[in-house]
Amino acid sequence: MAPPSEKQIKTLEKLGILPDEIENAGKATKLLERLDKRRAEHPAI
């Protein structure tokens, strides 16, 4: 339940996601994992 790390915040911002909406590091990790999976499955998107 810790807040997102600085690295997670910077990555989310780079992807155009407002990190203020992400309450904890676990949620940030899950979101980043899903985005990585989507990017791997659809590299042109």
Per-residue model confidence (pLDDT) at position 44: 75
d(CA 37, CA 19): 19
Chain centroid, CA 6 distance in Å: 11
Per-residue model confidence (pLDDT) at position 1: 82
Task: Tell me the per-residue pLDDT of 1-45, one tens digit each, with 9 for 90 and over.
Answer: 899 999 999 999 999 999 999 999 999 999 999 999 999 998 875
pTM score above 0.85: no
